[in-house]
Amino acid sequence: MAIGRPRAFDTEKALDQALGVFREKGYEGASLSDLTAAMGINPPSLYAAFGNKEALFGKALDRYAERHAGFYKDALARPTAREAVEALLAGAIDMATDAGSPRGCLLVSGALACGDDADPIRAELTRRRAEGELMLRRRFEQAKREGDLPPDTSPADLARYVTTVLQGMAVQAAGGAGRKDLRRVAETALRVLP
Amino acid sequence: MAIGRPRAFDTEKALDQALGVFREKGYEGASLSDLTAAMGINPPSLYAAFGNKEALFGKALDRYAERHAGFYKDALARPTAREAVEALLAGAIDMATDAGSPRGCLLVSGALACGDDADPIRAELTRRRAEGELMLRRRFEQAKREGDLPPDTSPADLARYVTTVLQGMAVQAAGGAGRKDLRRVAETALRVLP
DNA sequence: GCGTTTGTGTAGCGAGCACTACAGATGGAA
DNA sequence: TTCCATCTGTAGTGCTCGCTACACAAACGC
């Protein structure tokens, strides 16, 4: 055991609570009182364990990626491009409308437009959204090489289209759209696939 | 002329400036210093002319609807459903990537997730997005009655799909996507139409 | 001229923000 | 038992937030 007084709270659980607040209120809308209240700790404990609000958001974002957005990589591993997109849409719908968490997607609603202070956060979220789009594009390029997608397909255009639908569904979910609604959207969106 | 000292600034121009700040930083991210600086007035003038920050946002939102989202109703007036959707997508792309204004759509990036204070704003934006979707649904219902759309079409599902694509494009635009990129997205999205 | 009405600029209000100084508490090491 | 390292709760810090009191300025009718 480490030297010194042991930490009286579970940093993983506290991070989950913080993530919940950030998902619900966004980066700017989440105040430190909101965060400490949800995490069940006092400010000094938060700062000792996580640095500051920006660093806490970064750690919550990493946790979000591995816990709630893990479906993304799994989906891309499906054997065909169509199955991959199906899994992507289904997974995103489940994640964005999960009853246990605030609706929507942290990458979209965390900080779409914000003040100057939060601009690094906005840029990081933008970067991660673009990263996801790039992964999908690579997957489509592979499918094209394998003959799974027709030779006249544009992987870049298709990836941007699917990403746009995913992001639109995040907005819909934030606005209260239900699972059934979004499944129909996904079904319609899938019709463009060959 | 009205009695009393005349107002020394143009309320319409000031409102346009405020709208620009709200589009760039969202409702929460736009501080009163940001607003008064952009509008070229002092706080008391702002409060005398517009009420408070929330009321100012409401007026800016109305102005946004008539000035930058007027394409929406025009698009729905097109003779066919396909033309309507084409005009809708093209208009949204022009609006969201207009060089003279911040990128994106105020209805989407104004307040997707926010603190408790801004919750009425978030709810109002959600309401207006749903309103747009409903208008589109009504247009599809009309098209179905006219035989412009096949009888097995679901106007509700199609409207939600198109709205989702529009909202996704708003997120893409906020992230820096260009006009060409979004035109290709629109082209792909249009393929689901009969 | 005068009084009334309305708008303007200065200057500052209370409240909440992100963040921290500090003293006491709690463990292992010597 | 003492020392030291670390964490904890209390109680703040300075700052910016949205907003306003107040005195002065500029138009009107009389």
Question: Given 3-state DSSP classes, what are the helix, strand and coil percentages for chain B, each rounded to the nearest 5?
Answer: 70, 0, 30
Q: Mean pLDDT over all residues of chain A?
A: 97
Give the side-chain half-sphere CA count within 13 A for A55.
7
The predicted model gives A123-135 an average pLDDT of: 98
Compute CA A24 distance to the chain's CA centroid, rounded to the nearest angstrom.
Answer: 13
**The three-state (H, E, C) secondary structure of B78-96, written as one string:** CCCHHHHHHHHHHHHHHHH
The predicted model gives A166-182 an average pLDDT of: 98
Q: Mean pLDDT of residues grouped by 10 in chain B (194 residues)?
A: 91 98 98 98 98 98 94 97 98 97 98 98 98 98 98 98 98 98 98 93
pLDDT at residue B140, as a whole number = 98
| Token pair recorded at residue A127 | 């970067």
Helix (H, G, I), strand (E, B) or coil at A102: coil
Q: Which residue is nearest to nucleotide C20 (CA to C1')?
A: A44
| Token pair recorded at residue B127 | 């309401």
- Tell me, in Å, how far CA of B21 is from C1' of C14? 26
pLDDT at residue B43, as a whole number = 98
A1 touches strand D (CB under 7 A): no
pLDDT at residue A69, as a whole number = 85
Q: A23-82 pLDDT, tens per residue?
A: 999 999 999 999 999 999 999 999 999 999 999 999 999 999 999 888 999 999 999 999
A120 band by pLDDT with thresholds 50, 70 and 90:
very high
Q: Which nucleotides of D are covered by protein (CB under 7 A)?
A: 4-12, 16-22, 25-29
| Nearest CA-CA partner of A46 in A65, A28, A33, A63 | A33
Q: Which nucleotides of C are covered by protein (CB under 7 A)?
A: 4-12, 16-22, 24-29
Q: A89-98 pLDDT, tens per residue?
A: 999 999 999 9
Chain A residue numbers touching B104 (CB-CB < 8 A): 112-113
B1 touches strand C (CB under 7 A): no
- The answer to whether the Cβ–Cβ distance between B174 and A25 falls below 8 Å is no
Model pTM score: 0.97
- Environment class of residue B191 by beta-carbon count within 10 Å: exposed (0-12), middle (13-18) or buried (19+)? exposed
- The answer to whether the Cβ–Cβ distance between A129 and B171 falls below 8 Å is yes
For B104, which of A113, A168, A174 is closest by C-beta distance? A113
pLDDT at residue B194, as a whole number = 84
pLDDT at residue B1, as a whole number = 66
- Tell me, in Å, how far CA of A42 is from C1' of D7? 11
- Using the 8-state DSSP alphabet, how is residue B6 labeled? P
Q: B81-100 pLDDT, tens per residue?
A: 999 999 999 999 999 999 99
B43 touches strand D (CB under 7 A): yes
- Tell me, in Å, how far CA of B8 is from C1' of D29? 22
- The answer to whether the Cβ–Cβ distance between B184 and A28 falls below 8 Å is no
Residue A87 above 70 pLDDT? yes
